[in-house]
Amino acid sequence: MVSNPNFLYYLALFCWPFVAYRLITRLQLDRAVILLVLIPYLFLPVPHPYQVMKLPLLPPLDKESIPILTLLVALYLKRVKLVWLPSYRLGWFFCIALILSPFFTIFTNMDPLYFGRLTLPGLKFSESLSLLASLFVEVYAPFIIGYSVLASTKSHEELVKQILIFGLFYSILMLYEVRMSPQLHTKIYGFFPHDWSQQVRAGGFRPVVFLGHGLLVAVYGCVTAIAAFALWRNNHEVMRGKGAIIFLYCGVVLVFCKTYSALIYLIFLLH
C-alpha cells in the first residue's frame, strides 16, 4: 500500500513557479532555461499514483508538466520568440505527425474490450484533446524551447556543463542511497515512488533519489559520465587538471548504480 504524500510534496510543486521566476530574472537566458528543466527533473517529487492533480483538458500537474508550463509563461513574459515549427521541411513533417498522433490513437482504439464480465470502453474523441495537451506539454514544448533558445554552440556547452555539475552533486545522494537504501524520497515527500523489490540488486540497492526508479538514476549517471568525458576531451576550463579524476569518479558511481544497460550505453557512446 502506497502512503500519502506529505505537505512538502505539495509545497515543492506549487512553490516551483516562484523559484523559477527568480532564476529566469537573474540568470542569462540559456542557463536559466537549462536550470528550469534540470532542477525540477532531479529534485521535485515523483507523481503520486493516487493523488493526481488534474484540470480539464490539461495533463496532470506534476514534476513533468508544472516546470514546462512555468517555463512557457516565463518565456512569454520575457517576450522570447519561440519557433513553433522548424525551418526545414522534414522537421515540419515530424512535428505535424507528432501533433496529429493522439487523434490516430483515438481513431484506432474506439472499440470496447471484453474480459469475461469486465468491459473496458473504447476511447472517445473528446479524450484526444487531453492526450494532445499532455503530448504538447511533455514532449513538443520542451523540444521547441530547446530548438528556439538552446541552438548555439555556447548553449550546448552550457548544457553539458550543468549536467555534469548537477550530476556530481547528485552522486552524493546516489552513494548515500547505495549505502543506506533508497529512502530520500520517502523521508522528504512521504512515500516511496515505485516497487521496492526492483531497487534491490547484487546484495545491495540501486539509488532512486527523486527520479522514481533506479533505471532513471543510472541513465542520468551515464549522461553525467559522458558529459565529464566530453568536457575533459575538449579541455574545458572546469576540467583542467582534474578531468581524468572526475571522469573516473563518475564511472565508479555508475557502477554502483548496478544497471548493466547504463554501463553498456557509456562504453558504446565513448567509442
**Average pLDDT of the segment spanning 186-210:** 88
How far apart, in Å, are the Cα atoms of 165 and each of 9, 47, 173, 223, 239? Answer: 25, 25, 14, 12, 11
Q: Is 80 helix (H, G, I), strand (E, B) or coil?
A: coil
Q: Give the residue among 239, 231, 62 at the shortest CA–CA distance from 138.
A: 62
Q: Is 6 helix (H, G, I), strand (E, B) or coil?
A: coil
Full-prediction pTM beyond 0.85?
Answer: yes
Residue 182, pLDDT > 80, answer: yes
Residue 52, pLDDT > 80, answer: no
**Average pLDDT of the segment spanning 153-175:** 95
Helix axes of 65-77 and 7-26: crossing angle, nearest 10 degrees:
30
Q: What spatial distance separates the first Cα and last Cα of the chain, rounded to whole Å?
A: 45
